[in-house]
Amino acid sequence: MNNQTVLVTGGAGYIGSHACVELLQAGFKVVVVDNLTNSKPESLSRVQQITGKSLTFYQADIRDKQALTEIFAKESPSTVIHFAGLKAVGESCEQPQLYYHNNVYGTLVLTEVMTNANVKQLVFSSSATVYSESASKQYTENFPLGACNPYGRSKAMIEDILRDLSAADQIKQTESPWKIALLRYFNPIGAHQSGLIGEDPNGIPNNLMPYVAQVAIGKLPQLSVFGDDYPTRDGTGVRDYIHVVDLVKGHIKAIAALAGEKFEAGGCRAYNLGAGRGYSVLEMINAFEQVTGKTINYKISPRRTGDIAECFANPGLALKELNWKVEKNLDDMVADTWNWQTKNPHGYA
Ligand code: NAD
Ligand code: WQD
């Protein structure tokens, strides 16, 4: 049991709610700040149902400096996990200001409040989208960055801001310097094994797995497979899918690392969170059919703008420095997606 309080921005969302479960089970006190713009408070009731423990919830926007300052004063967190953000790539192309305001300005406000409260341990939700397309399909943290849409650029800008904050403390040789882990997620899918929490997309899903699940349950008539002429083993796009529970366990490991030797003098370090292997769209459909016994109705459609052929993580640094690697396999990811979908055909509604 430890008495540390972790403040979780965006804790009511898909990944944040799973993180709250792991944090509570690891003995942390949990304070969630979420404006519920893309989530429902029911997710947090379910977190408490799963764990048998309670958490504290504030419905607030991270851009509201006064509200955030009051929350920090009241709750005295030692660490922040920062999930809050908008994440729809297409929407970010249509409304870039909204994305920069919410994600980048929101993080500026958060880090200002953290600085004032002298809370300088941060785990940040970054994304594999910060990398520029590379000749190598397996991405290592030192690969060139170069996101290709406003959402991805908002993540890259935040990474820059956080690196600069940390560097400034190094120059000043501050007594309590920033300790920051930038976690670059590959493709999180799946749900908690209980089937009580999972991904609840608004409207028609953008991402492959929730789309497949909604076709399987009959909510959507047909999946469009975006391109079968990529230079991959079967022509469809290859991605590194990672079970959301494995992903959030990486955050607990990151909190431990921030308190350890590697970060003793402060610093800001990036880690890939992925499995280190990729599956194609057709392989994902096939796995879904095998596990669920359902046939997925699909058609081959043109490529989606902005998609790349193939990418997967080199997760070696996370293994070495965070002592983290994935434990779940593709069947677990599919079975847990389906368990959540069948138990909650309308999400949290
Ligand atoms: P999500 O939309 O389910 O969760 C984000 C949460 O943040 C929501 O509950 C939303 O209401 C909240 N939020 C947004 N803006 C806020 C603000 N200004 N103030 C307070 N709360 C705010 O998304 P998710 O899939 O759980 O993603 C969590 C984080 O991980 C995001 O930052 C996302 O960019 C990042 N990420 C997600 C993926 C993915 O595929 N899901 C991949 C890489 C990175
Ligand atoms: C996976 C594969 C598609 C939908 C996105 C964001 C990224 C990150 C994770 C946050 C691709 C194909 C998809 C469909 C399909 N989010 N596909 N039909 O594009 O790797 O990453 O989510 O940081 O920023 O870009 O994930 O699930 O959308 O696509 O054929 O209806 O499935 O072409 O090959 P992606 P995805």
**The pTM of the whole model exceeds 0.95:** yes
Helix (H) or strand (E) holding 107: helix 106-116
pLDDT in the model for residue 133: 85
- For residue 37, the ligand 1 atom closest to its alpha carbon is 11
pLDDT in the model for residue 342: 97
Mean predicted lDDT score pLDDT of the chain: 97
CA distances from 272 to 24, 74, 133, 220, 290 (A): 24, 34, 16, 33, 29
The pLDDT tens digits of the residues spanning 246-265 come to 999 999 999 999 999 999 99
Q: Which residues pair with 56 in a beta bridge?
A: 31
Distance 55 CA to ligand 2 centre (A): 32
Q: Which of 83, 87, 89, 220 to mutate to test the pocket of ligand 2 (most atoms within 8 A of CB)?
A: 89
Task: For residue 153, name the pLDDT band (cuts at 50, 70, 90).
Answer: very high
What is the chain's alpha carbon radius of gyration, rounded to the nearest angstrom? 20
Cβ(201)–Cβ(13) below 8 Å:
no
- What domains can be seen in the chain, in order of their start residue? 5-343 (3.40.50.720)
The pLDDT tens digits of the residues spanning 19-51 come to 999 999 999 999 999 999 999 999 999 999 999
Expressed in percent and rounded to 5, the helix, strand and coil fractions of the chain are 40, 20, 40
The answer on pLDDT for 167 being more than 70 is: yes
pLDDT in the model for residue 135: 82
Query: In this structure, which amino acid lies at residue 59?
Result: Q
- For residue 89, the ligand 2 atom closest to its alpha carbon is 25
Instruction: Indicate the burial class of 208 (C-beta count within 10 angstroms; 0-12, 13-18, 19 or more).
Output: buried
pLDDT in the model for residue 129: 96
Distance 43 CA to ligand 1 centre (A): 14
Q: Which residues contact 287 (CB under 8 A, 6 or more apart)?
A: 279, 330, 331, 334
The pLDDT tens digits of the residues spanning 90-144 come to 999 999 999 999 999 999 999 999 999 999 999 999 999 999 988 889 999 999 9
In terms of pLDDT, which residue wins out, 143 or 1? 143
